[in-house]
Copies of this chain bind each other. A is one copy, B any other.
Amino acid sequence: MGSARSLASRVGLLVFSWLALGAAGVRADPLPSWNEGPARQAIVAFVEAVTKQGGPDFVAPAERIAVFDNDGTLWSEQPMYVQLAFILDRVKALAPQHPEWREREPFASALRGDLAAVAATGEHGLLELLMATHAGNTSEEFARMVEGWLASARHPTLGRPYTECAYQPMLELLAYLRASGFKTFIVSGGGVEFMRPFTERVYGVPPEQVIGSSIQTRYEIRDGRPVIVRLPAVDFVDDKAGKPVGIHKFIGRRPLAAFGNSDGDFEMLEWTTSGPGPRLGLLLHHDDGAREVAYDRKSSFGRLGRGLDEAPTRGWQLVSMKNDWKLVFPPP
């Protein structure tokens, strides 16, 4: 007995040391690229409140849902949406088979490389480009096309693969939330089938947690093999008031936290932060012309006006890229 007790106490000590080390590991700064300031403080205070067992704001892990816009929130949307760069490359490749595109918008602007004119056609114009360049493919063919393009394309100013243009502080935030029991979802105006091939690798977000705009699909048998065929018709536009609708459709419960950067994210933040209990709404303000691009009210991509005006009264955190982030992109 004595020997067993002694062993038990020594094992207890070892286990204690191991737990202490583990706890210290967890307590290492989860947001090393975030400067001290109100945005960082709001994030940490929120996470500590909802995860504190027995605390007044504790939320069960199953209810810990966080939603993130993608373009301009998780990765760069300048000088244009990444998906638009993909589409323009496809339009150019397919143009010889479509002489009529030279006179028809938004194709004519796309072929001229006139981004402002393309952007002026809005989300629906972008989706029309997407449909025209990809309808008739199967979902698997399309995923391979996206993967191939991502492997070879480079960001025009950063000169690196787009999948290395994610914001380092946001990657840390995603990981911090997941380590705190959150399920992280992407809720983007971008095409869902464009995002799913890379979100798991780049953001740690699996395909089933990606919500986006979509075109209709049809199940059919081709050459004896079942396939999902992509049709030239809009199914769902996941932008503005479509974002809470998409959240409701795909997740089925209201998130605790929402992260965006443009007025397209306004209703998502509004829906998220109007629920009971602790909520976190965060808008990234692109005010860093030195390290990225400074833009807000007048930008073709990621316009932010109403969000800037109303964030203070709605209790949303404005994150200043310039002041709140130690670095923007991961080191090469």
Contacts and interface: CB of A to CB of B under 8 A. Distances in A.
B267 A244 contact: no
A267 B218 CA distance: 12
A16 B217 CA distance: 52
Given A196-B252, A207-B253, A241 B219 contact: yes
Contacts of A294: none
A225 interface: yes
A271 interface: yes
Number of copies: 2
A254 to B, nearest CB: 9
A10 interface: yes
Nearest to A200: B62
Interface in A68-83: none
A139 interface: yes
A1 to B, nearest CB: 15
A292 B220 CA distance: 35
A183 interface: yes
B244 A219 contact: yes
Contacts of A65: 208
Contacts of A270: 226
Given A226-B244, A228-B244, 19 more contacts: A10-B11, A11-B14, A62-B206, A183-B208, A185-B208, A192-B249, A196-B252, A208-B250, A210-B252, A217-B245, A217-B249, A218-B245, A219-B241, A219-B245, A219-B267, A226-B270, A226-B271, A228-B245, A250-B250
Interface of A: 7, 10-11, 14, 62, 65, 139, 183, 185, 192-193, 196, 200, 206-210, 214, 217-220, 225-226, 228, 235, 241-242, 244-245, 248-253, 267, 270-271, 274
30 contacts: A7-B7, A62-B200, A62-B206, A65-B208, A183-B208, A192-B249, A193-B252, A196-B252, A207-B251, A207-B252, A207-B253, A208-B209, A208-B252, A208-B253, A210-B252, A214-B249, A217-B245, A217-B248, A218-B245, A219-B241, A219-B242, A219-B244, A219-B245, A219-B267, A225-B274, A226-B244, A226-B271, A226-B274, A228-B244, A235-B249
